[in-house]
Amino acid sequence: MVRCFIAVDVHGEAVEEGVLEVQERLRTLDVKFTFVEPGKMHITLKFLGEISDSMIEEVRRSIGDLSFPPFNLRFRGLGVFPDPNRPRVIWIGVSEGGDELSKLAGKLDDALRRLGFPREARGFKPHLTIARVKRGGGAALSKVVQEYRLKDFGESKVESVKLKRSILTPEGPIYTTLHEWKASQE
């Protein structure tokens, strides 16, 4: 069994610098975090969980020729999930390109429902996870979120969607691309 998800990679100097700035600020707090390395940043469109090798092939076939044009994402503002009183995920918002991401997530949901993967119950909320809260939070974290709530983090171009394997290790996840659907000029 292999832990898999479908995502778009996020890269760009301004985005990476902005993420590192926020992560450095978060490190000053008395909160235990695990941080997403800038080189591993992505937006998950569909989490598949633990699936077999044969199911990986079925996923590829079911999605088929995923058709979408290249588009830009713009990142703005900092937030938390599920709520400020119980923060578990620190994220950067998507201010442009969110509709395109939602359409891709919807196409994937439709294609994968036939294989028994359930639709996302909470709906798709485009965001870039930059840290997970392991312990703590409170007023100090809320203050940092407020400081960055309007910050423009720059942009990244979406030119492909990737099926990825994730191996969880104590040093952080190791991602491997199993399949890539490239954007096409329509």
* Tens of pLDDT, residues 147-184: 999 999 999 999 999 999 999 988 889 999 999 999 99
Please tell me the predicted confidence (pLDDT) of residue 84.
86
Q: Check whether 76 has a pLDDT greater than 90.
A: yes
Name the percent of the chain in helix, strand, coil, to the closest 5. Answer: 30, 40, 30
Please tell me the predicted confidence (pLDDT) of residue 77.
98
- Dihedral, CA atoms, 122, 127, 130, 132, nearest 10 degrees? -10
Cis before 82 (ω within 30): yes
Q: Give the C-alpha separation, 184 to 182, whole Å.
A: 6
Please tell me the predicted confidence (pLDDT) of residue 185.
74
Q: Check whether 30 has a pLDDT greater than 70.
A: yes
Spatial strand order of the sheet with 71-83 comes to 32-35, 127-135, 86-96, 71-83, 152-158
Please tell me the predicted confidence (pLDDT) of residue 16.
97
- Exposure of 10 in the CB half-sphere (CA atoms within 13 A): 32
Q: Which DSSP helix (H) or strand (E) runs through 46?
A: strand 42-51
Residues written for the chain: 186
- Annotated catalytic, 11? no
Please tell me the predicted confidence (pLDDT) of residue 137.
86
SS3 state of residue 27: helix
Taking the model in full, what pTM does it have?
0.93
- Annotated catalytic, 42? yes
Q: Which of 127, 131, 148, 153 is catalytic?
A: 127
Task: Kindly list the structural domains of the chain, giving each domain's residue range(s) and its CATH number in brackets, ordered by start.
Answer: 2-182 (3.90.1140.10)
Please tell me the predicted confidence (pLDDT) of residue 186.
61
Span 84-100, pLDDT tens digits: 889 999 999 999 999 99
Compute the average pLDDT of residues 44-66.
Answer: 95
Q: Give the C-alpha separation, 89 to 15, whole Å.
A: 18
Phi, psi of 14 (to 5 degrees): -65, -40
Q: Which of 42, 76, 162, 164 is catalytic?
A: 42
| 35-39, 135-139, 163-167: the lowest-pLDDT one | 135-139
Do the beta carbons of residue 133 and residue 55 sit within 8 Å? no
What would the two tokens of residue 25 be? 């600020």
